[in-house]
Amino acid sequence: MGLIKALSDSVKGSLADQWLEVLEADNMDDNTVFTKGVTVRRDRRNNNKRGNSDVISNGSIIHVYPNQFMILVDGGKIVDYTAEEGYYRVENSAAPSLFNGQFGSALRDTFARVKYSGTPSYKQQAFFINLQEIKGIRFGTPNPVNYFDQFYNAELFLRAHGTYSIKITDPIKFYSEAIPKNASRVDINDINAQYLSEFLQAFGAALNRMSLEVRISQVMSKLPELSKFMSTELDESWKELRGFEVLAVGIASVSYDEESKKLINMRNQGAMLGDPSVREGYVQGAVARGIENAGSNSAGSAQAFMGMGLGMGAAGGFMASASASNQAQMQQQQAKKEAAGSWTCPKCGKPNTGKFCSECGAAKPAEAGSWTCPKCGKPNTGKFCSECGAPKPDGEWFCSNCGHKNAAGTRFCPECGHAKD
């Protein structure tokens, strides 16, 4: 039992008049992955007066549209197929023709493992598999996925939802392994429960690995990389087992669970209060709010201020001590900043913090061995640019002693006589 490609001009216009039966795929929408072939027209002009829905008469025509894969099934086994669009005549006496189309020899190898080598039975059917991208398959984490954040040093939890799409890459394997027995029509959602569980398992594993390098607050900025990873993570196993692969993943949103939100907010508040200037503002604000509340006390401001004075006897010392500590830390930080940016003028010896000497106006000398990348303009001190990787040029150089710019080829600074580093 096989297929013979029919000439297009012999099947145009009056298919039912010329052939016993003309079959094509039943309605196939965006989510349909598999459907049965149905008769295009059955009326008094059709020569197949005693037709049976489970038998394709010898000489019938099967019409295959673009992005459809047609399989000819006899007794539940595939006996022939085509991956090419067009019109095909069923010939029971012919050997399998195997129109591989875009799939090449790989499809023939799969067929060799499942083919039916017997005489035609009394149950012959044509089925069609959708080769288009099957889009809009929804996913969502039923439970929050754990995400150990190195920065917060805490086990946090994420929720995510979105959609993904698949494409059938080995239709024969897909029919053999994924389509339920005796099914005449299958939508992706009819068989997606197992695949969705596997997808979410891989998604959780991907998030766990990401937590080793990426802070939880940066996950949203890494969604393109996560989507790309998920589009390839399951490809090998799904192609090998079921004949389809993940084509694209769209992650609509990622959110924290309530406990994670509380932990993150608490950590962020603690980090802010670690800044003495922020703490000092908090202390001053607390004092101001206390005075304001005392003034609006319904029992009278005098009584409120008297109570506040008694309370300040105990708390005033703490507030003053906290404020003094904040001021001392702010002064220490400022001193460190000034010390980090300070330099001594090589001409007059005056300490400075700006770009020019406040005494003689001399420019701040460049750091020892510093140079500016000619390609990207970034200042550097090593042999290669840290921004673009360009090597340090052998041209002009700056004296590490006085900062004087010297011409290429000179070995000693004409300003101070210091040798080139």
DSSP, residue by residue, 311-340: HHHHHHHHHHHHHHHHHHHHHHHHHHHHHH
Q: Are 368 and 382 in contact (CB under 8 A)?
A: no
pLDDT tens track for 77-116: 888 888 889 998 888 766 666 666 666 666 666 666 655 5
Q: Distance between CA atoms of 165 and 245, rounded to whole angstroms?
A: 9
Q: Distance between CA atoms of 130 and 32, rounded to whole angstroms?
A: 7
Residues 6+ apart with CB under 8 A from 179: 33, 34, 186, 191
The CATH number of 134-256 is 3.30.479.30
**Using the 8-state DSSP alphabet, how is residue 374 labeled?**
T
Return the bridge partners of 23, or none. 39, 62
For residue 414, the model assigns a pLDDT of: 83
Q: Is the pLDDT of residue 125 over 80?
A: yes
Burial class (CB in 10 A: 0-12, 13-18, 19+), 271: exposed
Query: What burial letters (b/e) apply to 363-376, b meaning 16+ CB within 10 Å?
Result: ebbbeeeebebeee
Query: What burial letters (b/e) apply to 10-24, b meaning 16+ CB within 10 Å?
Result: ebeeebbeebbbbbb
3-state secondary structure of 397: strand
Its pTM stands at 0.58
Whole-number average pLDDT of the chain? 76
Q: Is the pLDDT of residue 326 over 80?
A: no
The ranges assigned to domains in the chain are 2-130, 134-256, 341-421
Q: What is the average pLDDT across 332-347?
A: 71
Burial class (CB in 10 A: 0-12, 13-18, 19+), 169: buried
Q: Are 56 and 23 in contact (CB under 8 A)?
A: yes
Polymer length of the chain: 421
Q: How confident is the model at residue 14 (pLDDT cuts 50, 70, 90)?
A: very low
Q: Distance between CA atoms of 56 and 228, rounded to whole angstroms?
A: 45
Return the bridge partners of 148, or none. 155
Q: How confident is the model at residue 39 (pLDDT cuts 50, 70, 90)?
A: confident
Q: What is the average pLDDT across 148-170?
A: 88
Q: Are 373 and 388 in contact (CB under 8 A)?
A: yes
For residue 317, the model assigns a pLDDT of: 56
- Which percentage of the chain shows pLDDT scores above 70? 66
Query: What burial letters (b/e) apply to 380-413, b meaning 16+ CB within 10 Å?
Result: beeeebeeeeeebeeeebbbbbbbbebeeeeeeb
Rg of the chain over Cα atoms, rounded to whole angstroms, equals: 39
The count of other CB atoms within 10 Å of the CB of residue 53 is 11
Q: Is the pLDDT of residue 36 over 90?
A: yes
Q: Is the pLDDT of residue 215 over 60?
A: yes
H-state helical runs in 69-191: 105-114, 171-177
3-state secondary structure of 212: coil
